[in-house]
Amino acid sequence: MQSYPKAKVLIDQNQFSLGSSEPRDSIPSFYVGNVPIYGRATLSPMAGVSDSPHRSLAKDMGSAWSFTEFVSAEQINLENPKAIRLFHFKKEENPVWFQIFGNSVESITIAAQRIELLNPKVIDLNMGCSVQRVSQNGSGAGLLRNLPLAGKMIESLCKFTSVPITAKIRIGWYNDDLNYKETIHVLQESGVAAISVHGRTKEMAYTGTANWDAIAEIKDFANVPIFGNGDIDSIGVLKQRLFDSKVDAVLIGRAAIGNPWLFSGIEKSSLTISEIHNVAWRHYVSMKEFYEKDSFILFKKYFTKYFDLFEDYKDEKDRILRVRDEIEFEESWLSSVEEYMNKFGLYYIKQKRPA
């Protein structure tokens, strides 16, 4: 196998966390390589969603570890500042897993060596992205149609980096051609430390229903930790999937947007608008600190989800979502919640706009 020289990363490592926040006084739920994992549910990696502010909140709520958004190996090797920025994390997010994608053994290996200098606990290879521009280029879910290449990637990553290597897959490319058994075999033989399985095919994208029978079958024959992903939208479903499939952990994706309480074992429907507002505002302030610019625009996808259970707040919510000025957005949000609380005679602690 070709050797790759250690690559230089032209970024300031001081902006990245070197610490760890794993509890030292409890027994790990399981290990990924030499990395102890405490807990059995985590925030799934999602482009434009699983950023540092969201990961920090999810981790504080009980998420077992933190996946970054997926980042192109090519952009890492071009030292694209925006790509490198996606690996920024705080120590409380640990253990942090960096997720990358690509279609070349050399490119993916050099990229992994570069980002290893930023101290991830694990590096994850994305083999599940169904977006056309990624999968049709042979990356993401495209690797499900080129398992020899996927195996060589894992082998190279294991040989030329010192952190555990994992992969996130789908159960197949086409609905009538599920190749998950072969995929798991190739990845395990190549040295993968754990595998996340989205119970849909590339053809399904995010439609239909996740196939948890396939996930359970994978867990039954696999010899590495298996994580299940797909359609977990409540505490009850989360617990049932863990019990039925026997997976080591579950990944929660879209359902966690505006509902980080899933990781705490708390049903969102049991919370008051004040309790939801306090967490939403904390999330927003964290995004303002992280992004500095246009954070209120980026937060709108969360805002609508946080307050989705309050039908009598819908008109106000829709009005606020149309606001295009940051100060007006914040003031409208705060005043509308205060008015809602006064209307229903509920207790509310008035907050101020962040400086």
Q: Where exactly are the structural domains of the chain?
A: 13-263, 271-343
What span, in angstroms and rounded, lies between the C-alpha atoms of 94 and 21?
Answer: 6
> Residue 332 corresponds to which tokens in the numbers above?
């409208």
What span, in angstroms and rounded, lies between the C-alpha atoms of 274 and 282?
Answer: 12
Burial 201-231 (b: 16+ CB within 10 A, else e): bbbbeeeeebbbebbbbbbeebebbbbbbbb
Catalytic residue among 37, 49, 83, 129: 129
What span, in angstroms and rounded, lies between the C-alpha atoms of 338 and 14?
Answer: 40
Residue 129 designated active-site: yes
Tell me which CATH code domain 13-263 carries.
Answer: 3.20.20.70
Burial 298-335 (b: 16+ CB within 10 A, else e): bbeebbbbbbbeeeebeebbeebeebeeeeebbebbbe
- Collapsing DSSP to helix, strand or coil, 214 comes out as helix
pLDDT in 10s for each residue of the chain, 355 residues = 444 444 444 344 444 433 344 555 589 999 999 999 999 999 999 999 999 999 999 999 999 999 999 999 999 999 999 999 999 999 999 999 999 999 999 999 999 999 999 999 999 999 999 999 999 999 999 999 999 999 999 999 999 999 999 999 999 999 999 999 999 999 999 999 999 999 999 999 999 999 999 999 999 999 999 999 999 999 999 999 999 999 999 999 999 999 999 999 999 999 988 899 999 999 999 999 999 788 999 999 999 999 999 888 899 999 999 999 999 999 999 999 888 888 775 544 445 545 4
Among 166, 172, 162, 242, which Cα is nearest to 202's?
172
pTM: 0.90
Helix-helix angle 326-343:314-321, to 10 degrees? 170
- The burial of 34, by beta-carbon neighbours within 10 Å (0-12 exposed, 13-18 middle, 19 or more buried), is given as exposed
